[in-house]
Chain A
Amino acid sequence: MTKQQVLNLYFLDARHKLIEVAAFLDRVERATGKNDFRLKAFCSALGELNGGRGKARRVLRAFSDPTTRPITRAEGKGAVGASSSRNG
């Protein structure tokens, strides 16, 4: 596909999602109380948008648990989307 074709297909959708991200960050700033590691991970991942190709892979890695050994025991079943090991 040409760049024009990609822009024609995806620009409005990407614009919409970027505004949603901006509004989310505004919402967090307006809210009371403390942040946690998820917002730190989010802001760190945003920094990956400035590099060259491979942005999606780098953003996913920024949210990933960087440790390599199995944990002793699974205390719950769910995932929260960001690693406290990297951003705690």
Chain B
Amino acid sequence: MRYIEPHAHMVSRVTDDYERMAIAGCEAVCEPAFWAGFDRSSAAGFYDYFRQLTEYEPKRAAKFGLKHFSWLCINPKEAEDVKLAEEVIALIPQFLDRPNVLGIGEIGLNKNSRNELKVLEMHVDLAARCHQLILVHTPHLEDKLKGTRLILDALKSDRRIRPERVIIDHVEEHTVELVLNAGFWAGMTLYPETKCSPARAVDILEIYGKERIWLNSACDWGVSDPLAVPKTALEMKKRGHRVAAIEKVVYQNPRKFLSQCPKFRV
């Protein structure tokens, strides 16, 4: 079955993963900017990273017939240093016209600090001024519920932001309703240990419906699975969901949201 991987950190993955994803039916992969596992020492490190996301990775994906798109930002894990964040955010506009850039992301919060919130608001302002889509990371584990509420407050307080142009990612059972009820899109991340398992993700789809919601693997350098989306499609099939319903979640929904950026084509 064809699918779109709307959130994957492919710079951390081996080339074999592109091949496995293509064989599994992936037609496009979207890569938000994120933390490298260590703090970069200067804005110049981000400049190189943005070049990697917009120049090198699309070529690597194309070898397997996969389209590659990216999102740009300074990740919340590096947002405690506001001066660095200001320097990185100043670099982003020169990349926004590149053919594979879809918007600003993954921005958000990590530990729910004042500086992280300030940097989130700076990113939201940039997205509003440049008419960009937004992809939001919600915090991990015990910080997720509080962080999701703070993020929703920040987004709703900026009247330029249209909820239908924002995806709030990594929702779980305790945050999905908050996000959907506020009119935003919701992303479910499928991780082997944290976030959602395929079974729980399908539970959430059965309880909250299949509108304004997508699945992603968010595969990176940690414990993660680049084939988590097709595995969840299989989970839906095992439960008797129709092919059209499965394709809506793994292909049509991400295509509908991402196509709000005219550069997104599959």
Indicate if the CB atoms of B114 and A77 lie closer than 8 Å. Answer: no
Question: In the assembled complex, which residues on chain A have CB atoms less than 8 Å from the CB atom of B150?
Answer: 70
**How many A residues have CB within 8 A of the partner chain?**
30
Indicate if the CB atoms of B110 and A73 lie closer than 8 Å. Answer: no
By beta carbon, the residue of chain A nearest B206 is: A1
How far is the CB of B112 from the nearest CB of chain A, in Å? Answer: 6
Indicate if the CB atoms of B116 and A74 lie closer than 8 Å. Answer: yes
- Say if the beta carbon of A81 comes within 8 Å of chain B: yes
Indicate if the CB atoms of B113 and A9 lie closer than 8 Å. Answer: no
Question: In the assembled complex, which residues on chain A have CB atoms less than 8 Å from the CB atom of B144?
Answer: 60, 64
Indicate if the CB atoms of A70 and B143 lie closer than 8 Å. Answer: no
How far is the CB of A17 from the nearest CB of chain B, in Å? Answer: 10
Interface of A is mostly: loop
By beta carbon, the residue of chain A nearest B114 is: A70
Indicate if the CB atoms of A73 and B199 lie closer than 8 Å. Answer: no
Indicate if the CB atoms of A56 and B173 lie closer than 8 Å. Answer: yes
Question: In the assembled complex, which residues on chain A have CB atoms less than 8 Å from the CB atom of B240?
Answer: 1, 5
Indicate if the CB atoms of A56 and B110 lie closer than 8 Å. Answer: no
Q: How large is the interface on B (under 10, 10 to 19, 20 to 34, 35 or more residues)?
A: 20 to 34
- Say if the beta carbon of B158 comes within 8 Å of chain A: no
How far is the CB of B79 from the nearest CB of chain A, in Å? Answer: 8
Binary CB contact string for chain B from 53 to 88 against chain A (1 if under 8 A, 0 otherwise): 000000000000000000000000100100000000
Indicate if the CB atoms of B77 and A77 lie closer than 8 Å. Answer: yes
By beta carbon, the residue of chain A nearest B240 is: A1
Q: A1-B239, A71-B113 are in contact. Are A10 and B141 (CB under 8 A)?
A: no
In the complex the two chains form, what is the Cα distance from A56 to B46 in whole Å? 38
- Say if the beta carbon of B224 comes within 8 Å of chain A: no
How far is the CB of B9 from the nearest CB of chain A, in Å? Answer: 16
Question: In the assembled complex, which residues on chain B have CB atoms less than 8 Å from the CB atom of A71?
Answer: 111-114
- Say if the beta carbon of A34 comes within 8 Å of chain B: no
- Say if the beta carbon of B115 comes within 8 Å of chain A: yes
Q: A9-B238, A56-B203, A73-B80 are in contact. Are A64 and B113 (CB under 8 A)?
A: no
Indicate if the CB atoms of A81 and B142 lie closer than 8 Å. Answer: yes
By beta carbon, the residue of chain A nearest B150 is: A70
- Say if the beta carbon of A76 comes within 8 Å of chain B: yes
- Say if the beta carbon of A12 comes within 8 Å of chain B: no
By beta carbon, the residue of chain B nearest A75 is: B111
Binary CB contact string for chain A from 59 to 78 against chain B (1 if under 8 A, 0 otherwise): 01101111110111111111
- Say if the beta carbon of B140 comes within 8 Å of chain A: yes
How far is the CB of B75 from the nearest CB of chain A, in Å? Answer: 10
Indicate if the CB atoms of B113 and A70 lie closer than 8 Å. Answer: yes
- Say if the beta carbon of B13 comes within 8 Å of chain A: no
**A-B pairs, 4 with minimum CB distance:** A74-B111, A79-B141, A60-B174, A79-B140
Q: Residues of B at under 8 Å CB distance from A?
A: 35, 77, 80, 110-117, 139-146, 149-150, 172-174, 199-200, 203, 238-240
* 14 sample A-B contacts, Cβ–Cβ < 8 Å, listed by A number: A9-B238, A57-B173, A60-B145, A65-B142, A70-B112, A70-B114, A71-B111, A72-B113, A73-B80, A73-B115, A75-B111, A78-B140, A80-B141, A81-B141
